[in-house]
Structure 1
Amino acid sequence: MKLLRKILFPFSVLYGGVTALRNFFYNHNLLKSKSYDIPVVSVGNLSTGGTGKSPMIEFLIGFLRKDFKVAVLSRGYKRKTSGFRLVEENSTVSEVGDEPLQFKQKFPKITVAVCEDRRTGIEKLKEKAEIILLDDAFQHRKVKPSTQILLTPYDDLYYNDSMLPTGNLREFASGAKRANIIIVTKCPDGVAYAEMQKIQLKLNLQEKQKLYFSRIGYDKLIYGPTETQRLDYLLDKSFTLVTGIANPKPLVDFLRKEHYVFDHKTFPDHHHFTASEINKLKESEIILTTEKDYVRLQPALGKFAIYYLPIKTIILKEQEHFLKQSVLDSIDEARFS
């Protein structure tokens, strides 16, 4: 592995140089970022996948929808369509992508749309919403959000990482300066306050930036096409865990810690399952999967015994109120400035 990293290092330097030059152009207004008269909250990361963007978007929807008309805009990764498209509850993954469909089915009353051009998407959503949430848009510099939320996972903090392809960073760690709010995600249960302080020092935050810590929480129920069961329904059963996400380790660790015994079949993030893969999965007695994978798998499996286990973002150390207030303050500033 060390040898491979050395071989790939020149490509990391080249890739980093290109992204740094692009950011230089935007930072000095040689390329233009467009701002809007509607609050636009971006959730993103510096690294490739697996930071918890979807649960964070759902966390924001959960409290913002009570007082505002919320819209979510995503590019609709791996969809087979193009251009602007509103997501409906009966849309398909091939039309809109898995995460946007997940958002719409979970929160049917909000507006969800996909568009690879975020400027076009925002213009079309302005009349439908009071707040627009941008999914995975930290590197989309054509848009200047009113609030930038940057996620970095506890076990792979961006200051310990390096540029693609040697590491997982999409841009140099200095890009974190654009964030208003930084959230360390996927913290272990019972993380010590001293460890949080250590991370805060290493992040070297700017005065304007606020830092919060979160962990993954799992539902006590699992949901299928025809029924809902308690998670412990699976304790004495043989089941297959199917994951097509960037980092299934937290889910696997959680289930093993709770003494579940299962066969784990892992696939790449946003994987489109082939007919032969579906037929092979049908040999399982029961399938447990993630919410994102469920929207891709269930239509192909029909009324097969497939369930998904929802996850959610839990803010640590009584910080939830302060995080919500930080987001609301930034929204008010954007609305009334």
Structure 2
Amino acid sequence: MAEHNWIKIILTPFSRVYGLITLLRNFLYNVHIFSSQKPPQFTISIGNITVGGTGKTPMVEYLTKNLSSKYQIAILSRGYGRKTKGLLFADDTSTASDIGDEPLQYFSKYGKNIVVAVCENRVNGAFAIHNKFPECNLLLLDDAFQHRAIQRDVNILLNDFNRPFYKDLPFPAGRLRETRSGAERADVIVVTKSPADLYDTEKEKIRRSIQKYSRREVPVFFASIRYAEPVSYNQSPVLLKNVIIAAGIANPLPFTIYLRSKYNVVEEIIFPDHHNYTPTDLQHLIKYIKNDTFVVTTEKDMVKLKPLAAESGVLDHFTYLPMEMNFGADAEPFDHWITNHTL
């Protein structure tokens, strides 16, 4: 702990410089020296100030599931971790190397009803979607809070309950992509990964901490992560007892804690976020498999590992844990807010 504090002290001056750079960048956008363009579609951005996992993927999926009956949805992502460049539309031949793991997950779940595209330049991507799919009238920008070159109609900011931005510092001493004041741009804030039984007094305390940096009229909602029953890679239900955890996500701790509470964890193998799995990785996992032991991954890992597991004939011993955003008591007010502020 003492060593960590010393490192933080040493890095703090660099964080101040980085924070000033982000403040200058935001100022130049605010006074229109840096230009931004409005896309043809009604646009909702989902993003964060903190580096790492705050629940953007479950949030995008929550909005997709709840709004797809009313709107023709397109999801636009940078496609982090892909080995390609430029604009690509997801289709049945797409792999994680082509478009990234999260876009592939979106397409695997909702591809028949929505458009999924990746492009580093969000403005170009939005107009390309409009040109090819003019019927799409709602654009979801995945991880775009800092992408100010593209305008948005609704700006959703996610704040991890366990790593709140209001207690953090900009990179490199902390995990913030910009200063805390960036929260002023949010139209709505969701505190993700909250305990399902969080007391109202604690919620109010968190709201007050957030409102030191956001606009006071901006609502703050709370959501937790809800895990479903495990599903094998061949899509059949499975009963688990002994498990090997394999995860390549930004913050695997909630995932591993949940599995430890439910099953006998034989081994935990953690990979970097957006890890591109190789046959060597698969062989490393297979060596732990027994008749009563299964590998359990996240859904994001599944879309990358499944082709390798199928090729090796071990699909039956690989399972994933579906997860979704659970707003609990805040579900109705949040859905009402989104409905009232969409189109």
TM-score norm. by structure 1 comes to 0.93
The number of aligned residues is 326
Q: Secondary structure at the match of 2:172?
A: coil
Q: Secondary structure at the match of 2:45?
A: strand
Following the alignment from structure 2 to structure 1, what is the Cα–Cα distance between the partners of residues 92 and 326? 26
Partner of 2:126: 122
Q: CA RMSD of the aligned region, Å? A: 1.3
Following the alignment from structure 2 to structure 1, what is the Cα–Cα distance between the partners of residues 204 and 172? 30
**What are the superposed Cα offsets for residues 213-269 of structure 1, whole Å, 9 maximum, x if unpaired?**
0000000242312x4124xx112xx32110000111111111222243331100110
2:269 counterpart of 1:268:
no
Contact 1:20 1:172 in 2 (8 A): yes
2:145 counterpart of 1:138:
yes
Partner of 1:313: 325
Select between 188-197 and 256-265 the one with higher mean Cα deviation: 256-265
Select between 46-55 and 252-261 the one with higher mean Cα deviation: 252-261
Q: Secondary structure at the match of 2:341?
A: helix
Identify which of 314, 318, 334 aligns with 1:323: 334
Following the alignment from structure 2 to structure 1, what is the Cα–Cα distance between the partners of residues 85 and 69? 31
Identify which of 192, 197, 200 aligns with 2:199: 192
Identify which of 227, 245, 249 aligns with 1:245: 249
Identify which of 188, 201, 218 aligns with 2:227: 218
Contact 1:239 1:284 in 2 (8 A): no
Q: State percent identity of aligned pairs.
A: 37
Contact 1:222 1:228 in 2 (8 A): yes
Following the alignment from structure 2 to structure 1, what is the Cα–Cα distance between the partners of residues 141 and 232? 27
2:288 counterpart of 1:277:
no
Q: Secondary structure at the match of 1:229?
A: coil
Q: Secondary structure at the match of 2:255?
A: helix
**What are the superposed Cα offsets for residues 191-216 of structure 1, whole Å, 9 maximum, x if unpaired?**
11100000011111424411100000
Following the alignment from structure 1 to structure 2, what is the Cα–Cα distance between the partners of residues 279 and 223? 18
2:65 counterpart of 1:62:
yes
User: What runs of 5+ residues in structure 1 fail to find an aligned partner?
Assistant: 333-337
Q: CA 1:128–1:94 in 2, change beyond 3 Å: closer, same or farther?
A: farther
Following the alignment from structure 1 to structure 2, what is the Cα–Cα distance between the partners of residues 28 and 138? 18
Following the alignment from structure 2 to structure 1, what is the Cα–Cα distance between the partners of residues 266 and 198? 28
| 1:105-120 alignment runs, 5 A limit | 105-108=108-111, 109-120=113-124
The Cα shift of 1:37 comes to 4.2
Following the alignment from structure 1 to structure 2, what is the Cα–Cα distance between the partners of residues 310 and 75? 23
TM-score norm. by structure 2 comes to 0.92
Amino acid in structure 1 at the alignment position of 2:74: A
Contact 2:244 2:265 in 1 (8 A): no
Following the alignment from structure 1 to structure 2, what is the Cα–Cα distance between the partners of residues 262 and 200? 40
Following the alignment from structure 1 to structure 2, what is the Cα–Cα distance between the partners of residues 260 and 5? 37
Q: Secondary structure at the match of 2:342?
A: helix
Following the alignment from structure 1 to structure 2, what is the Cα–Cα distance between the partners of residues 37 and 97? 25
Amino acid in structure 2 at the alignment position of 1:79: R
Following the alignment from structure 2 to structure 1, what is the Cα–Cα distance between the partners of residues 97 and 40? 32
Partner of 1:292: 300
Following the alignment from structure 1 to structure 2, what is the Cα–Cα distance between the partners of residues 93 and 47? 24
Following the alignment from structure 1 to structure 2, what is the Cα–Cα distance between the partners of residues 128 and 223? 36
The Cα shift of 1:56 comes to 0.3
Contact 1:89 1:101 in 2 (8 A): no
Partner of 2:240: 234
**What are the superposed Cα offsets for residues 117-136 of structure 1, whole Å, 9 maximum, x if unpaired?**
00011001121411000000
